[in-house]
């Protein structure tokens, strides 16, 4: 709810103070109310006793006046003779003398003679009965709905002639006069009971108050309690006392004394006002004090927060410490943490920008300095300097000395390049940035640097010769300059030159080519990838006896793609297995189509060297060609067994054991080894087209081919010549004893339906057969 600690603390302490103040006020009010109630009860009890005493005094005065009147001879003579005028005159005299509100004569036969009215005054039969039982009565009498304090006196002459009743009204005015006799401003009222409800003429009580008062009086009458009790009326809470009154006619009447508790608490008003004033003042002081205290607490906390945000943004701003309390110690700890973070960040930055093995700057350090390089009027170039034969050197001198060698070359490079930005890019590659006017100037500078770097180094008394190759890339735009220099180094090593500048044309677009792999899997399911079959001519049988299945891909947007492009990408990205499995299944299907058309040909499929050592692929390949109707041959290269010779040879032997022939493909183009030729359970040897294309005009190639044919035959292998494009070449191969020929002279790689057309072309087959036959005759 509150976002600031200062506000929270102020509200919290002010709220707690308010709660304490309310509790104190409530306790004070409760004590004051209890004390006031106790005082009011005591006053009511005392006032009730005073009222009783005054009540008796008034009764005595009325009784004395009534008795004097009935002892008057003239009055008794007038009553005895029935002289109404004289009786009324005597009653009026009594009325004036006593100040009574009620003066009547009650004859024994009933009725009543009023002092002011000529007509008889109706009185209750209960009153007459009471008079007959007791001549002198005192009590309350209700006449015409008005309560009176009345006394009676018998008229005797000497017999009973009647009773004189004298009374005073107990109305509101009379009650006010009685209230003035009380030391406290209480409220007095005389109530009579009518139909179960206590009321008094002229007393304005609400229905709710009348019910509450009646309930209170009934409970007090039933308990016969003379103790004051609390009562809730419309005006608020009050303390009331009920005093039963004796009546002349047997009815019930009470004197109801009440005192509002609010009036009793009025004496404490000044105390409450002072308490409220002190509370408000205390609240203000607490709020101000808490606000100042909270500000003293939150200000350093706010400074800590600001410093933490600055720290998050990479700015190290220490917090000012002005006190010695806990917050100050926290600030000191925060400042110490900042110092530690700065030190660790400096160390991390150093580690991130330093090669841990040589303590030279690393690739990231070079890239950062390249961003701040000021070229002015010259161009910036990046050179990737590769240590040639580094693996052999490291194997000879050990890893520790090899790292020391790199460090020494790095130091030499820093010295020779006038402390230009440099860094170690790879295990055997150092990078350096330099300025040059143009590419020619850059070439001259690098050549000079290269010559100085290749000077021998001495490590622990041993002289180490150094050879370096350099790739250079110009810094242009936001491209990956260091990567381009590294690629240029790879291009230099591949071309076997000492220096090469980055060639974007030969590098191509690897990102675009890499995207082909995702498209290749979809192309396999959409039929964009298909097989093209190149026939193999049997030079002895003078007919086509086999075909080689080659994969072709017609891209929907890029058109026909070179096989070397997507096959090499598939090998590098691990997608070659899916492609090869597709080729195997499709080759088996095409072989069945050829056989169904009357051409039972052997089918050859190239197997990547990446799959020869894969046991799972080997089992799958055997299962895929199990249903082949005719011979099936896997073509592999000698280099396929170099990475893992044992496992590769086991898989090749597994192929041979399941009647899959093995052909050694591209023999002579790589590092041909007689040892592997001896170990491989091969059935065929394919001479690379590099030797066949110049066979007719190169005696050296002819000698190599003849010796290879003789060697293969000596090992029990058939020989197939690739790249045959001229009839004379076929003649020479047949003369050398070559078994099979394959090349564009016989046919280009074609789909299976075109292959059927070629096989059924009798003229073409006759030409090939005649060419082979003539070659055989010349050989004979």
Kindly tell me if the per-residue pLDDT of 393 is higher than 70. yes
Residues 125-156 have pLDDT tens digits of 667 777 777 656 788 888 877 888 888 888 88
Q: Round to whole Å and give the CA distance between 175 and 255.
A: 10
Kindly tell me if the per-residue pLDDT of 775 is higher than 60. no
Residue partners of 282: CB distance under 8 A and separation at least 6: 17, 21
Q: Round to whole Å and give the CA distance between 715 and 723.
A: 23
- Yes or no: domain 10-266 corresponds to CATH 3.30.450.220: yes
Average pLDDT of the residues in 113-132:
67
SS3 166: strand
Q: Which of 56-65, 175-184, 437-446 has the lowest mean pLDDT?
A: 175-184
Average pLDDT of the residues in 339-363:
86
Per-residue pLDDT, 779: 43
Average pLDDT of the residues in 84-93:
80
Per-residue pLDDT, 719: 95
Residue partners of 246: CB distance under 8 A and separation at least 6: 138, 139, 140
Percent with pLDDT over 90 in the chain: 21
Average pLDDT of the residues in 603-624:
91
Fold of 363-507: Alpha-Beta Plaits (3.30.70)
Kindly tell me if the per-residue pLDDT of 584 is higher than 70. yes
Angle between helices 576-596 and 615-624 (to 10 degrees): 20
Kindly tell me if the per-residue pLDDT of 324 is higher than 90. no
Task: Return the higher-pLDDT residue of 752 and 34.
Answer: 752
Q: Round to whole Å and give the CA distance between 566 and 515.
A: 10
Report angle CA 684, 686, 689 to the nearest 5 degrees.
170
Strands 632-637 and 660-667: parallel
Q: Round to whole Å and give the CA distance between 95 and 321.
A: 100
- The secondary element (H helix, E strand) that includes residue 193 is strand 187-194
Q: Round to whole Å and give the CA distance between 256 and 248.
A: 19
Prior bond of 594 cis (ω within 30°): no
List b or e across 150-168, with b for residues whose CB sees 16 or more CB atoms inside 10 angstroms: bbbbbbeeeeebbbbbbbb
DSSP-derived letter for residue 109 is T
Give the residue from 36, 166, 61 showing the smallest Cα distance to 114: 166
Residues 678-709 have pLDDT tens digits of 778 889 999 999 889 888 888 899 999 999 99
Percent with pLDDT over 70 in the chain: 90
Out of 17-26, 30-39, 157-166, 695-704, give the one with best mean pLDDT.
695-704
Task: Provide the mean pLDDT of the chain.
Answer: 83
Per-residue pLDDT, 136: 62
Per-residue pLDDT, 154: 87
- For residue 441, count CB atoms less than 10 angstroms from its CB and return exposed for 0-12, middle for 13-18, buried for 19 or more: middle
**Any bridge partners for residue 665, and if so which?**
637
In the block, residue with structure tokens 């052997």: 602
Domain range list for the chain: 10-266, 363-507, 516-779
Average pLDDT of the residues in 755-776:
72
Kindly tell me if the per-residue pLDDT of 117 is higher than 70. no
Q: Round to whole Å and give the CA distance between 338 and 42.
A: 77
Kindly tell me if the per-residue pLDDT of 780 is higher than 50. no
SS3 702: helix
Give the residue from 484, 485, 481, 452 showing the smallest Cα distance to 384: 485
DSSP-derived letter for residue 115 is S
Q: Is the dihedral of CA 417, 419, 425, 429 positive or negative?
A: positive
Q: Round to whole Å and give the CA distance between 514 and 549.
A: 25
Q: Which pTM value belongs to this model? A: 0.52
Phi and psi angles of residue 247, each rounded to the nearest 5 degrees, phi first: -115, 155
Average pLDDT of the residues in 521-542:
90
Average pLDDT of the residues in 650-674:
84
Task: Return the higher-pLDDT residue of 569 and 670.
Answer: 569
Give the residue from 127, 172, 152, 130 showing the smallest Cα distance to 59: 152
Q: Are the beta carbons of 335 and 318 closer than 8 angstroms? A: yes
Residues 401-450 have pLDDT tens digits of 889 999 999 988 888 887 788 899 999 999 999 888 888 899 999 999 98
Q: Quick one: CATH architecture of 516-779?
A: Alpha-Beta Barrel (3.20)
Per-residue pLDDT, 632: 93
Per-residue pLDDT, 374: 65
**Any bridge partners for residue 602, and if so which?**
546
Name the pLDDT band for 377 (thresholds 50, 70, 90): low
Q: Are the beta carbons of 499 and 468 closer than 8 angstroms? A: no
């Amino acid at each position: 709810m509150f976002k600031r600690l200062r506000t929270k603390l102020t509200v919290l302490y002010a709220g707690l103070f308010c709660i304490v103040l309310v509790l104190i006020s409530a306790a004070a009010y409760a004590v004051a109310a209890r004390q006031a109630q106790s005082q009011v009860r005591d006053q009511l009890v005392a006032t009730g006793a005073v009222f009783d005493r005054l009540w008796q005094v008034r009764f005595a005065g009325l009784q004395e006046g009534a008795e004097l009147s009935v002892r008057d001879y003239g009055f008794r003579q007038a009553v005895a003779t029935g002289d109404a005028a004289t009786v009324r005159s005597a009653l009026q005299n009594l009325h004036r003398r006593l100040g009574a509100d009620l003066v009547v004569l009650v004859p024994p036969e009933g009725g009543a003679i009023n002092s002011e009215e000529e007509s008889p005054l109706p009185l209750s039969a209960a009153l007459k009965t009471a008079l007959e039982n007791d001549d002198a009565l005192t009590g309350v009498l209700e006449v015409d709905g008005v309560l009176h304090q009345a006394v009676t006196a018998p008229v005797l002459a000497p017999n009973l002639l009647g009773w004189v009743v004298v009374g005073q009204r107990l109305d509101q005015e009379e009650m006010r006069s009685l209230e003035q006799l009380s030391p406290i401003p209480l409220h007095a009222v005389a109530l009579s009971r009518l139909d179960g409800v206590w009321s008094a003429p002229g007393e304005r009580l609400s229905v709710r108050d009348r019910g509450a008062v009646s309930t209170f009086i009934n409970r007090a009458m039933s308990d016969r309690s003379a103790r004051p009790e609390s009562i809730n009326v419309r005006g608020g809470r009050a303390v009331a006392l009920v005093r039963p009154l004796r009546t002349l006619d047997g009815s019930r009447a009470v004197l109801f004394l009440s005192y509002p508790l609010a009036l009793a608490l009025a004496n404490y008003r000044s105390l409450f006002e002072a308490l409220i004033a002190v509370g408000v003042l205390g609240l203000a002081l607490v709020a101000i004090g808490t606000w100042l205290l909270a500000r003293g607490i939150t200000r350093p906390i706010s400074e800590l927060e600001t410093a933490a945000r600055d720290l998050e943004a990479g700015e190290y701003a220490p917090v000012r410490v002005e006190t010695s309390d806990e917050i100050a110690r926290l600030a000191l700890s925060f400042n110490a943490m900042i110092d530690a973070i700065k030190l660790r960040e400096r160390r991390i930055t150093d580690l991130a920008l330093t090669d841990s093995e040589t303590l030279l700057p690393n690739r990231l350090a070079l890239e950062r300095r390249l961003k701040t390089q000021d070229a002015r009027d010259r161009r910036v170039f990046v050179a990737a300097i590769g240590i040639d034969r580094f693996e052999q050197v490291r194997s000879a001198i050990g890893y520790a000395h090899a790292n020391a060698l790199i460090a020494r070359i790095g130091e030499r490079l820093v010295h020779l390049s006038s402390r230009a930005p440099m860094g170690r890019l790879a295990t055997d590659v150092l990078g350096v940035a330099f300025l040059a006017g143009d590419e020619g100037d850059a070439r001259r500078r690098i050549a000079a640097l290269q010559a100085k770097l290749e000077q021998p180094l001495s490590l622990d008394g041993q002289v180490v010769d150094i050879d370096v190759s350099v790739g250079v890339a110009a810094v242009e735009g936001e491209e990956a300059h260091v990567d381009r220099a590294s690629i240029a180094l790879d291009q230099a090593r591949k071309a076997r030159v000492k220096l090469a500048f980055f060639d974007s044309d030969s590098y191509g677009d690897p990102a675009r080519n890499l995207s082909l792999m995702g498209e290749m899997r979809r192309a396999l399911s959409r039929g964009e990838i298909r097989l093209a079959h190149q026939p193999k001519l049997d030079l002895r049988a003078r007919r086509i006896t086999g075909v080689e299945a080659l994969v072709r891909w017609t891209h929907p947007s890029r058109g026909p793609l070179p096989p070397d492009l997507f096959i090499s990408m598939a090998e590098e990205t691990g997608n070659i297995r899916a492609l090869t499995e597709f080729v195997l299944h499709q080759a088996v299907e095409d072989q069945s189509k050829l056989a169904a058309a009357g051409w039972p040909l052997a089918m050859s499929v190239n197997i990547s060297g990446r799959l020869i050592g894969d046991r799972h692929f080997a089992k799958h390949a055997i299962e895929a060609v199990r249903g082949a109707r005719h011979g099936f041959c896997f073509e592999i290269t000698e280099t396929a067994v170099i990475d893992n010779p044992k496992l590769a040879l086991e898989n090749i032997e597994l192929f041979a054991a399941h009647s899959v022939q093995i052909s050694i493909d591209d023999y002579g183009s790589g590092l041909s080894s007689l040892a592997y030729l001896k170990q491989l359970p091969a059935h065929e040897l394919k001479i690379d087209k590099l030797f066949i294309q110049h066979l007719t005009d190169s005696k050296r190639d002819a000698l190599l081919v003849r010796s290879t044919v003789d060697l293969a035959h000596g090992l029990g292998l058939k020989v197939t010549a690739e790249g045959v494009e001229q009839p004379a070449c076929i003649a020479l191969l047949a003369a050398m004893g070559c078994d099979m020929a394959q090349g564009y002279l016989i046919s280009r790689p074609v789909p299976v339906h075109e292959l059927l057309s070629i096989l059924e072309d009798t003229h073409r087959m006759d030409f090939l057969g005649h060419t082979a036959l003539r070659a055989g005759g010349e050989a004979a």
